[in-house]
């Protein structure tokens, strides 16, 4: 929860931009996230939140700008090499709105696969680590099951374990609870809160205002591809400065 | 019109050995053709333009030309270029090409039917392109493709009857031979037809069984 301010930013985006055709999705975004920081990105649909998140691990290719994660910097104006991309993706874990577990593998294989193929661990070591992670998200008893036998909330917790298995330096969450009913969302949020408290650097695109206010260190509001406001979570959520932020939060609270 | 019992007994060894050649040609064509289909499917989906054009050329010729034309071309046409093949090899090559071309489309469509999120998940956990295919896309895609591939295999089995035109002693050739020596064409061909059915009908039943089970990993 407490960000280490003196370590320099772990993630730095400089003048990041992205178009879909003539539509400007990200307009010269500058952003720094320090190690241990939990950043919540909120804002209306179509504001570019998810695109921004997906650019950080290059699932979307930006048109311009610089992306730095740890020691890797990628210049979006030229084609990224395979080794740059794999370096980037090893440092960055991603959790999707729709979980995207591999349906033809058991829960354990889902978590172990990348450890064996990417980190070169033996199956035994990988499975051992996977069991620790499954225990951490409270699902050790599901190891031998197929994902379809698990509820949405359980699947999302498994997806979190799958990402953690690569020991990432930062975890990206793309609306991790939006496909879940409120109760199942809660169990995912509990895992995310535990992760935040353990010091993981996290960037979370979310509509969960409680998470933004109570768990994250920093909140950022986006609209029309721009950062409208960014600051300590309590300040942005309780005392926003920008008219656009006030309007968005009012709409959220009036529901 | 119907073969007598005695006729059947005397023809059967001949017909069964023909059937055995038909089955051998089928098995070899599939064993060579389906892996080719996989390679062609990946070629058609490849990023490189040269690869894509070559793969598309092989697929479009293999699907565009009737199997009969491919057979004739390889058996009668290729010797003109100095390459002479026996009727068995020519049959296998022609039908394997045909198989490769058709199954590549089946496999390509199956791979493309896998949800986009599966690719994204594979990429985001750092799998390279090869591992992504091997562990994530192919196991799911081939499961989708399996019923169609099996269905196509039955067509290739029936297609081996075309090899009659390049003097391969398969089932139809044998029946025709019997006809020409006994003038009992219809009963001989009828017996051959029954033998085709003995393989094709159980195979079709198997396909519909597999079809019901395919994708049931989602409910395991």
- Per-residue pLDDT reduced to its tens digit, A21-76: 889 999 999 999 999 999 999 999 889 999 999 999 999 999 999 999 998 899 98
Q: Which of A104, A114, A149 is facing B125, going by the closest CB pair?
A: A114
Whole-angstrom Cα Rg for chain A:
18
pLDDT of residue B216: 57
CB contact under 8 A, A114 and B126: yes
Please give the order of strands across the beta sheet that includes A23-34: A23-34, A9-20, A64-69, A72-75
**How high is the mean pLDDT of chain A?**
92
Q: Is the dihedral of CA B107, B109, B110, B111 positive or negative?
A: positive
pLDDT of residue A255: 73
The pairing of strands A170-174 and A201-205 is parallel
What burial class does residue B181 get, using C-beta atoms within 10 Å of its C-beta: 0-12 exposed, 13-18 middle, 19+ buried? exposed
**What is the value of ipTM here, to two decimals?**
0.90
DSSP state of B220: -
In angstroms, rounded to a whole number, what is the distance separating the alpha carbons of residues B208 and B202?
A: 10
Interacting residues of A134 by C-beta distance below 8 A, sequence separation 6+: A107, A108, A111, A140, A142, A143, A158, A161
CB contact under 8 A, A146 and B220: yes
In angstroms, rounded to a whole number, what is the distance separating the alpha carbons of residues A142 and A186?
A: 19
Q: pTM score, two decimals?
A: 0.86
> What are the pLDDT digits (tens) for A95-111?
999 999 999 999 999 99
Specify the DSSP element, H or E, that contains A95: strand A92-95
pLDDT of residue B78: 87
In angstroms, rounded to a whole number, what is the distance separating the alpha carbons of residues B7 and B76?
A: 35
In angstroms, rounded to a whole number, what is the distance separating the alpha carbons of residues B43 and B37?
A: 10
Percentage, residues of chain A above pLDDT 90: 84
pLDDT of residue B217: 54
- Per-residue exposure over A118-147, b if at least 16 CB sit within 10 Å of its own CB, e if not: beebeeeebbebbbebbebbebeebbebbb
**pLDDT string in tens for chain B (220-residue length):** 788 888 888 999 999 999 999 999 999 999 999 999 999 999 999 888 999 999 999 999 999 999 999 999 999 988 888 888 899 999 999 999 999 999 999 999 999 999 899 999 999 999 998 999 999 999 999 999 999 999 999 999 999 999 999 989 999 999 999 999 999 999 999 999 999 999 999 999 999 888 887 655 554 4
Whether the CB-CB separation of B71 and B165 falls below 8 Å is answered with: yes
3-state secondary structure of A179: coil
In angstroms, rounded to a whole number, what is the distance separating the alpha carbons of residues B219 and A219?
A: 41
**Apex CA A170: angle with CA A47 and CA A14, to 5°?**
50
Comparing C-alpha atoms, which of A89, A9, A21 is closest to residue A56?
A89
pLDDT of residue B210: 86
Comparing C-alpha atoms, which of B126, B119, B118, B72 is closest to residue B95?
B72
CB contact under 8 A, B125 and A101: no
> For residue B120, which residues of chain A lie inside 8 Å, CB to CB?
59, 94, 96, 100
pLDDT of residue A87: 86
In angstroms, rounded to a whole number, what is the distance separating the alpha carbons of residues B141 and B55?
A: 19
pLDDT of residue A7: 58
CB contact under 8 A, A102 and B218: no
Is residue A15 over pLDDT 90?
Answer: yes
The alpha carbon of residue B118 is apart from the nearest alpha carbon of chain A, in Å, by 6
Any idea which residue has 């089995």 for tokens? B157
Q: What is the mean pLDDT of residues A238-252?
A: 91
Q: Which domains does chain B have, with CATH numbers?
A: 5-219 (1.10.3720.10)
pLDDT of residue A4: 46
CB contact under 8 A, A104 and B139: yes
Q: How far is CA B51 from the centre of its chain?
A: 24
Comparing C-alpha atoms, which of A1, A41, A15, A31 is closest to residue A222?
A41
> For residue A96, which residues of chain B lie inside 8 Å, CB to CB?
117, 120-121
User: If you measure CA to CA, which chain B residue comes closest to A57?
Assistant: B124
The alpha carbon of residue A112 is apart from the nearest alpha carbon of chain B, in Å, by 11
Is residue A81 over pLDDT 90?
Answer: no
Q: What is the mean pLDDT of residues A166-188?
A: 93
Is residue A1 over pLDDT 50?
Answer: no
pLDDT of residue B215: 57
The alpha carbon of residue A78 is apart from the nearest alpha carbon of chain B, in Å, by 18
CB contact under 8 A, B118 and A89: no
Angle between helices B5-45 and B185-213 (to 10 degrees): 40
Whether the CB-CB separation of A2 and A196 falls below 8 Å is answered with: no
Q: Is the dihedral of CA B159, B172, B170, B88 positive or negative?
A: negative
In angstroms, rounded to a whole number, what is the distance separating the alpha carbons of residues B15 and B171?
A: 6
């Amino acid at each position: 929860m407490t960000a280490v301010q003196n370590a320099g930013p772990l993630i730095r985006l400089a003048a990041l931009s992205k178009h879909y055709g003539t539509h400007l999705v990200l307009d010269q975004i500058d952003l720094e996230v320090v190690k241990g920081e939990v950043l919540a990105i909120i804002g209306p649909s179509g504001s570019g939140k998810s695109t921004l998140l997906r650019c950080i691990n290059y699932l979307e290719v930006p048109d311009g700008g610089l992306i730095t994660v740890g020691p890797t910097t990628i210049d979006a104006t030229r084609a990224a090499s395979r080794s740059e991309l794999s370096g980037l993706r090893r440092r960055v874990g991603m959790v999707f709105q729709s979980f995207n577990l591999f349906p033809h593998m058991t829960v354990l294989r889902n978590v172990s696969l990348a450890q064996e193929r990417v980190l070169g661990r033996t199956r035994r070591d990988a499975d051992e680590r996977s069991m620790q992670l499954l225990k951490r998200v409270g699902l050790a008893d599901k190891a031998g099951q197929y994902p379809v036998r698990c509820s949405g909330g359980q699947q999302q917790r498994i997806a979190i374990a799958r990402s953690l298995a690569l020991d990432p330096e930062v975890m990206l969450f793309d609306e991790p609870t939006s496909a879940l009913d409120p109760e199942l969302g809660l169990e995912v949020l509990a895992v995310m809160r535990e992760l935040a408290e353990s010091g993981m650097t996290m960037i979370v695109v979310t509509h969960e205002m409680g998470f933004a206010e109570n768990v994250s260190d920093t909140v950022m509001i986006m609209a029309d591809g721009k950062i409208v406001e960014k600051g300590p979570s309590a300040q942005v959520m309780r005392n926003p400065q920008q008219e656009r932020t006030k309007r968005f939060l009012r709409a959220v609270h009036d529901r | 019109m119907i073969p007598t019992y005695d006729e059947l007994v005397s023809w059967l060894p001949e017909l069964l050995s023909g059937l055995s050649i038909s089955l051998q040609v089928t098995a070899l064509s599939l064993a060579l053709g389906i892996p080719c289909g996989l390679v062609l499917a990946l070629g058609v989906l490849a990023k490189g333009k040269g690869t894509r054009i070559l793969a598309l050329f092989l697929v479009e010729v293999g699907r565009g030309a009737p199997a009969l034309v491919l057979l004739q071309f390889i058996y009668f046409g290729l010797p003109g270029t100095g390459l002479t093949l026996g009727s068995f090899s020519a049959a296998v090559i022609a039908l394997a090409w045909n198989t490769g071309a058709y199954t590549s489309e089946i496999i390509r469509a199956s791979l493309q039917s896998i949800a986009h999120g599966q690719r994204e998940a594979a990429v985001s956990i750092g799998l390279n392109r090869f591992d992504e295919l091997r562990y994530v896309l192919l196991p799911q895609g081939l499961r989708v493709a399996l019923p169609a591939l099996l269905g196509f295999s039955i067509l290739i089995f029936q297609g081996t009857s075309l090899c009659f035109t390049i003097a391969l002693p398969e089932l139809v050739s044998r029946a025709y031979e019997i006809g020409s020596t006994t003038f009992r064409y219809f009963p001989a061909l009828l017996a051959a037809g029954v033998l085709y059915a003995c393989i094709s009908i159980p195979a079709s039943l198997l396909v519909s069984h597999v079809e019901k089970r395919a994708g049931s990993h989602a409910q395991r």
